[in-house]
Amino acid sequence: MGQTKDETRKNTGDMSQEPQIVFQNVVKYFGNTTAVEKMNLTVKKGEFIAIMGSSGCGKTTTLRMLAGMETPSEGEIRLNGQRINELKPSERNTPMVWQSLALFPFLNVIQNVEFGLKMRGIGTEERRRRSLEWLSRMAIEEFAERSIDQLSGGQRQRVALARALVTEPPVLLLDEPLSALDANLVVRMQGVLSRLQKELGITFVYVTHSQSEAFAMADRVVIMSKGVVEQVGSPQEVYRKPASRFVANFVGSNNILNGDVSAIDTSSVIIETEIGAVRANLPTDHEYSMGVHLGLVISADAMDLSMTEEQSKDNQFRCRLVSESFVGAMVTMLVETDSGIELKIQLFQKELDQIGFSENTSSSGTFLWVSWSKSSVYILPQ
């Protein structure tokens, strides 16, 4: 759903110009296994796109095909309108930041950064000048003459970035570049990357298994599973309108319910689920009939809580508190409905105070009323 909407917007907005990167029916086999299946994807110039999925989903293979380390078995990949399937890695200008960083251990910092320029036959002086510029841009010019093993993880990361960007490429590929850093540094480097991408205005293709990294930086995310693109959309779309059950599960903090349509009126549809009847908005273009099986997604932060039963709620269920955990100002609660199904709820601490919920009254087993509006129920595409 999110996907189709996104496609139409792009097609109308960008007719004049071919997108920078196009994957057209790309398939990649390794022996008998299919690593990437019928991939269709377009990336606009200057976009920050994150390809996300668990390990073995084909995200790294996709990136390696873009860099030329793998050749597609079928289909076509175009970069700036030119077919690149047959180009050698050295004939594309698609530098990559590697998960292992792959810095050359026998070269010092500035020699590492100069490498790409040297391979392009650029003279010693200009090479040095441009590399120094990038080192200072990454705030590591003081380490120019150091050897790689004398640097910290974050500094190496910056060297790897400078090395990839010094040739001023149209596209930068990043393969889980932050996976080896500790949490604090990850947040800092996310800031560095986002800012860099905006300043340079070049396309970033970022492969990660981390939802927080992808959502924090990307304009659009691609969610892959077992070689198949499950959804392409902005982080909000993927989060609010998951295109499939897989995506709904993958992006976490969602409650997923299943049931059959038991009633339809002019504005809403009622689905008999495992926790009872749930009321949802009736989509205008619906094709639901009685008894159709549907999957529902209600995100944890769309749920409300009260200590007593309230009137005029679209959906309201009595639950028992199972557990709660606090992260900063956010509280995540697990509750169990009378029918024994667990629901996840996310609220601000402030909201909890307002409804008179406090540490003292909240022992596990306390009865609460959980409610949500019918508009926050998202019906998964069938």
Partner 1 sequence: MKNTGRLLTVILIGYLVFIFIFIFTPIITSIIFSFNSDRFPTIPLGSFTLKWYELIYNDPDVWEAAKNSLIVSVSVGILSTIIGFCTAYTDFRYEFRFKNMYLALALLPPTVPLIILALAMLAWFSKIGVSGQLWTIVLAHTVLCAPFAMAVIRLRLQQMDADLESAAWNLGASEWLAMKEVVIPFALPSIVSAMCLTMAVSFDEFAVAWFVSGLNKTIPVMILEILQGNIDPQINAIGTFVFFTSMTLVIIAQLFFTFRSPKATL
Residue 361 CB, nearest approach to partner 1 (Å): 47
Q: Which of 15, 32, 106, 290 binds partner 1 (CB under 8 A)?
A: 106
111 to 130, contacts with partner 1 by CB under 8 A? 115-116, 118-120
The owner of tokens 């205008």 is 284
Residue 68 CB, nearest approach to partner 1 (Å): 8
Per-position b or e across 346-381, b if 16+ CB within 10 A of its CB = bbeeeebeeeebeeeeeeeeeebbbbbbbebbbbbe
Q: Is the dihedral of CA 282, 287, 288, 290 positive or negative?
A: positive
Token digits of residue 187: 């947040």
Does position 80 bind partner 1 by CB under 8 A? Answer: no
172 to 231, contacts with partner 1 by CB under 8 A? 180-181
DSSP three-state, residue 11 = helix
Count CA within 13 A, CB hemisphere, residue 320.
8
Q: Rank residues 101 and 224 by Cβ distance to partner 1 and give the closer one.
A: 101
Q: Which of 42, 94, 255, 299 binds partner 1 (CB under 8 A)?
A: 94
Binding residues for partner 1, rule CB under 8 A, total 35
In 3-state terms, the chain is what percent helix, strand and coil (to 5)? 30, 35, 35
Q: Rank residues 119 and 330 by Cβ distance to partner 1 and give the closer one.
A: 119
Backbone φ/ψ region at 312: left (φ over 0), alpha (ψ -120 to 50), beta: left
Q: What are the angstrom distances between the C-alpha of 25 and each of 11, 42, 52, 116, 343?
A: 18, 11, 19, 32, 39
Residue 375 CB, nearest approach to partner 1 (Å): 46
Q: Which of 34, 80, 108, 147 binds partner 1 (CB under 8 A)?
A: 147
Q: Rank residues 24 and 108 by Cβ distance to partner 1 and give the closer one.
A: 108
Residue span 310-349 as binding mask against partner 1, x where in contact by CB under 8 A, dash where not: ----------------------------------------
Token digits of residue 216: 């924090």
Does position 69 bind partner 1 by CB under 8 A? Answer: yes
d(CA 222, CA 21): 14
Does position 90 bind partner 1 by CB under 8 A? Answer: yes
Q: Rank residues 55 and 358 by Cβ distance to partner 1 and give the closer one.
A: 55
Token digits of residue 16: 């004049």
Q: Which of 59, 130, 156, 279 binds partner 1 (CB under 8 A)?
A: 156
Closest to 148 in 3D by CA, of 140, 122, 190: 140
Does position 288 bind partner 1 by CB under 8 A? Answer: no
Q: Return residues touching partner 1 (CB under 8 A).
A: 67-69, 88-90, 93-96, 98-107, 115-116, 118-120, 147-149, 153, 156, 163-164, 167, 180-181
